Amino acid sequence: MTMRKALYVLIAAALPAAAQQPAGPLLPQLDAAGVTKTCDAALAKGREMVAKMESGSGGAGFLAEWNALQVALEDLGPISNLGALHPDKAVRDAAEPCLQKRTAFGTDLFQSEKLYARVKAIEPAHPRERKLKKDLLEGFEDSGVTLPADKRARAKEISTRLTQIGQAFSRALREDPTTVRFAPAELAGVPESFLKSRKAQADGSYVLKPDDPTNDAVMTNAKSEDTRRRMFVARVQRGGEGNLKLLDEAYRLRKELATLHGLPTYAHYVQRRRMVGSPDVVNKFLAEVKSTVTDLEKAELRLLAEAKARDTGKPAEAVVPRWDESYYKNVVRRERFAVDQEQTRKYFPTPRAVEFALLVSETLYGIRFREAKVPAWHPDVRYFDIFDATSGKFIANIYLDLYPRDGKRGGAWAAGARRASVLAGRTPTSVLVTNFNREGLSHAEMQTLLHEFGHVLHGVLSTAHYLSQAGTAVKRDFVEAPSQMFQEWVHREESLALFRKVCPECPALGKDEIARLAEARRFGRGIHYSFQHLAASFDMALSTQPDDPLKVWKRLETEQPQGTTDFTMRPASFPHPTGGYAAGYYGYMWSEVIGLDLLSAFEKNMLDPKVGARYRETILAQGGQEEEMEMVRKFLGRELNNKAFLEEIAGKR
Ligand SMILES: [Zn+2]
């Protein structure tokens, strides 16, 4: 604790700019009662607005009324963030009923026949209005407005229940009590700096939660296989039976929802609205990934087994168990490329890493960040205003919540707390959440930081006219493309050279080290994409035919070289299917196809502000105002292709 405090003071002292007054509109700081009050007030106002809209007629003026309604609803506050992040459990708990009411409101709204009739009557005056009209019509139809009354009521029940399931699943993970106890000797190899940040028991042992940084520190570094195995078991059992049941219920309800709409599967229901258009395209894509990645995966697993044999002096196993994967990947990276993830932290002290992400963004996109001190939900949270470098105009603001703490949701993500709307004179606000080590980021975590920053930029550089089309309001299988692309800036010499500017005292990364880091990163791609394939196939299987999730997971895992284990409950801690990615997990790889193709425009010069400006204008600023495929075509000046992606996963890039 003392250590944490000392660091915090150090960081604050290094940033005199923190005394600045904020320029942007701040997020409201709410206590538990405030959450409920603000939420109810915004929804009451929303209901009033809807009643007025329903009493109107024709399409004229509808989109402006719709926009004002979206603004009012967003002003009910950053509720889902508070639910995931607030240190006070009462606030986190108060967020849940609010989100349930918000979902119910949304379902009612999209089931209104009167509003649907008005949308149908819109005569679009602009391409973005034509797109919005189409998206709205689909939204109304998908919510059941054209269904008979009994089916419509059932669709609403399902939607409400799915929200509750998502919340319960996430809560169970966030508040999972699982811990593992290790004697100091059992933690041999785990970095001193990590252990110092955890409290030792009176007998010197450590009681560890299997959260992200802990899992990472132990699985990558603990020399004892038994220690790794115990941490792995704890990790893959998070969420437990309860979450498995929730997941099962969710996929069954989704199948029922698709049936109400006369569609054969939930995959059809979702994917007809996505870039892919249909499950056939997804299944074909996944088969292509599998056949491309299998050889590389097997070759990598062979290297891991050989590394383990050298390490233990025992004969090589046919394949190492999953709890050995991170550890021996790290061994191979050390032996072959002289790269140790833990050692890479010295290059990227956490606050400097953040400044690096800001500087890359400034350089590419012609913007400026300025830190200010503002009230937030926790003292660790940092705040920045963003200005356009050319005009000097304030354009957006961001909050960064970087470090793990009790009750905070694990993982890393970016959330648009307020979305842009030129029509409403509204600037965007994004929240970046990570669970990073305070001392420094590994090269892998640097990649995570840039990835999430890619989402942040998509939100804050938006100049959408209508809020419903702002920032990341794009198709789900496109939304990861800008962030997948932005990751690449931690892998290139040109961009990494900027690290010297934010941290002259950090050890320099030379040409040779960067090349080795790149090689080391590439090692493990086969195993990684094989897992992505597994997760996407799991989601597709259940989105096609609901079944016991654990049974399906184990069946798919068994088909993999590493096989499955008796104790795994892995789907119980897999947050995507209940977090909005059902029938959509394939979208990560699909987005990567796009992200890597978009990257080709930057290949000549990763820091070219001209290409950056064009990208900002054609992709980031547009949000969902245009069809995604069309935006990509405009930016690249040609059709999208998956060449770069297939080369990447075959190990040829
Ligand atoms: Zn992402």
pLDDT by residue (tens digit) across 426-483? 999 999 999 998 989 999 899 999 999 999 999 999 999 999 999 999 999 999 999 9
CA 556 to chain centroid: 24
Average pLDDT for residues 141-169, to the nearest whole number? 93
Distance 218 CA to ligand 1 centre (A): 25
Which residues, at least 6 apart from 489, have a Cβ–Cβ distance to it below 8 Å? 360, 450, 495, 606
Question: Please, which pLDDT band fits residue 364 given cuts at 50, 70 and 90?
Answer: very high
- The terminus-to-terminus CA distance of the chain in angstroms comes to 44
Instruction: For residue 630, give the 3-state DSSP assignment.
Output: helix
Tell me the C-alpha distance between 446 and 444, whole Å.
Answer: 5
Token duo for residue 407: 């009750």
Distance 34 CA to ligand 1 centre (A): 31
Tell me the C-alpha distance between 168 and 240, whole Å.
Answer: 12
Is residue 85 within a helix (H) or strand (E), and if so which, with residue range?
helix 79-85
Of 103, 96, 110, the C-alpha closest to 32 is: 96
**DSSP label at residue 322:** G
500 has a pLDDT exceeding 50: yes
Q: Confirm if 620 and 373 have CB atoms less than 8 A apart.
A: no
Q: Which residue type, as a one-letter code, is found at position 331?
A: V
Crossing angle of the two packed helices 89-110 and 32-55, in degrees rounded to 10: 10
Which one has a higher pLDDT value, 78 or 288? 288
Exposure of 335 by Cβ count < 10 A (0-12 exposed, 13-18 middle, 19+ buried)? middle
Average pLDDT for residues 70-84, to the nearest whole number? 90
The pTM (predicted TM-score) of the whole model is 0.85
Distance 448 CA to ligand 1 centre (A): 9
Q: Which residue type, as a one-letter code, is found at position 464?
A: A
**DSSP label at residue 385:** E
Question: Please, which pLDDT band fits residue 19 given cuts at 50, 70 and 90?
Answer: low
Q: Confirm if 268 and 496 have CB atoms less than 8 A apart.
A: no
Distance 239 CA to ligand 1 centre (A): 22
Which one has a higher pLDDT value, 80 or 94? 94
Distance 444 CA to ligand 1 centre (A): 14
Average pLDDT for residues 23-42, to the nearest whole number? 94
Distance 610 CA to ligand 1 centre (A): 25
User: Looking at residue 421, what is its pLDDT?
Assistant: 98
604 has a pLDDT exceeding 70: yes
Distance 454 CA to ligand 1 centre (A): 8
Question: Please, which pLDDT band fits residue 594 given cuts at 50, 70 and 90?
Answer: very high
pLDDT, one tens digit per residue, over 313-338 is 999 999 999 999 999 999 999 999 88
Distance 145 CA to ligand 1 centre (A): 32
Q: Confirm if 234 and 218 have CB atoms less than 8 A apart.
A: no
Q: Work out whether strand 206-208 and strand 382-388 pair parallel, antiparallel, or are unpaired.
A: unpaired
Q: Which of 74-83, 482-491, 538-547 has the lowest mean pLDDT?
A: 74-83
Distance 480 CA to ligand 1 centre (A): 5
R_g of the chain, CA atoms, integer Å: 25
Distance 447 CA to ligand 1 centre (A): 11
14 has a pLDDT exceeding 60: no
Tell me the C-alpha distance between 99 and 177, whole Å.
Answer: 25
Sign of CA dihedral 142, 148, 150, 151: negative
Distance 451 CA to ligand 1 centre (A): 6
Distance 356 CA to ligand 1 centre (A): 19
Residue with tokens 């409101």: 105
Q: Kindly write down the DSSP assignment for every residue of 187-246, as one continuous string.
A: GTTS-HHHHHTSPBPTTS-EEE---HHHHHHHHHH---HHHHHHHHHHHHTTTHHHHHHH
650 has a pLDDT exceeding 90: no
Distance 469 CA to ligand 1 centre (A): 18
Distance 542 CA to ligand 1 centre (A): 22
Q: Work out whether strand 382-388 and strand 367-372 pair parallel, antiparallel, or are unpaired.
A: antiparallel
Average pLDDT of the chain?
93
Residue 434's Cβ-side half-sphere holds a number of Cα atoms within 13 Å equal to 24
Distance 21 CA to ligand 1 centre (A): 31
User: Looking at residue 510, what is its pLDDT?
Assistant: 84
Instruction: For residue 651, give the 3-state DSSP assignment.
Output: coil
Distance 453 CA to ligand 1 centre (A): 9
Q: Confirm if 173 and 152 have CB atoms less than 8 A apart.
A: no
Of 106, 112, 153, 116, the C-alpha closest to 136 is: 116
Instruction: For residue 497, give the 3-state DSSP assignment.
Output: coil
Q: What share of the chain is helix, strand, coil (3-state, %, to 5)?
A: 60, 5, 35
CA 144 to chain centroid: 29
Distance 414 CA to ligand 1 centre (A): 8
Question: Please, which pLDDT band fits residue 6 given cuts at 50, 70 and 90?
Answer: very low
7 has a pLDDT exceeding 80: no
Question: Please, which pLDDT band fits residue 190 given cuts at 50, 70 and 90?
Answer: very high
Distance 202 CA to ligand 1 centre (A): 41
305 has a pLDDT exceeding 50: yes
Distance 418 CA to ligand 1 centre (A): 18
Tell me the C-alpha distance between 488 and 136, whole Å.
Answer: 35
Of 275, 260, 300, the C-alpha closest to 522 is: 300
